[in-house]
């Protein structure tokens, strides 16, 4: 195949991976009740994977395709941390029993934009829930 044929074949718009789950898999068919039922009925030996979405960055990377917000004040980060802590509590309450967690992934913007005490609060909350959190390991 020559270059012109290659360009004609592959010069098209394609979906781009930008999140977890990727956009084509997000649907309104899954509502809060269905999600809660899935969590409550998971087999006790089926490990969870947690994704902690931190939508902030200290500065925007020019190559980044994520939807993120740059912040230079701590107030939005502290507010977001409080919201995430509440969400962790809701998740643990919905599950209502011990379930193993195989992976914890931080993503979104740049999680290190969070102040250290915020990250500590989040990891402490995870460790205090009924779910079984793994020891730290590389992603």
Summarised one tens digit per residue, pLDDT across range 35-67 is: 889 888 888 888 888 888 888 888 777 776 666
Q: Is residue 109 part of a domain?
A: yes
Among 18-22, 24-28, 84-88, 127-131, whose mean pLDDT is lowest? 18-22
Q: Is residue 116 part of a domain?
A: yes
Cβ–Cβ < 8 Å for 80, 56: yes
Domain that holds residue 38: 32-128
Q: Is residue 13 part of a domain?
A: no
Higher confidence at residue 137 or residue 86? Answer: 86
Q: Which two tokens stand for residue 110?
A: 């740049």
Q: Is residue 133 part of a domain?
A: no
Has residue 2 got a pLDDT over 70?
yes
The pLDDT assigned to 139 comes to: 43
The pLDDT assigned to 135 comes to: 57
Higher confidence at residue 100 or residue 86? Answer: 86
Residues 6+ apart with CB under 8 A from 52: 84, 104, 105, 106, 107, 108, 111, 122
Q: Is residue 112 part of a domain?
A: yes
Count of structural domains within the chain: 1
What DSSP string describes 45-61? TS-EEEEEEE-EESS--
Has residue 27 got a pLDDT over 50?
yes
């Amino acid at each position: 195949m020559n270059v012109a044929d290659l360009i004609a074949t592959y010069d098209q718009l394609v979906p781009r991976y930008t999140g977890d789950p990727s956009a084509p898999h997000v649907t309104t068919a899954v509502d809060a009740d269905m999600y809660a039922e899935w969590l409550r009925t998971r087999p006790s030996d089926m490990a969870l994977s947690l994704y902690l979405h931190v939508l902030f960055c200290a500065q925007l990377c020019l190559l980044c395709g994520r939807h993120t917000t740059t912040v230079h004040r701590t107030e939005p980060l502290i507010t977001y941390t409080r919201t995430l802590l509440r969400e962790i509590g809701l998740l643990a309450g919905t599950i209502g029993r011990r379930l193993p967690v195989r992976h914890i992934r931080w993503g979104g913007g740049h999680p290190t934009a969070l102040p250290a005490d915020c990250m500590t609060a989040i990891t402490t909350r995870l460790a205090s829930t009924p779910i079984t959190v793994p020891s730290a390991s590389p992603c």
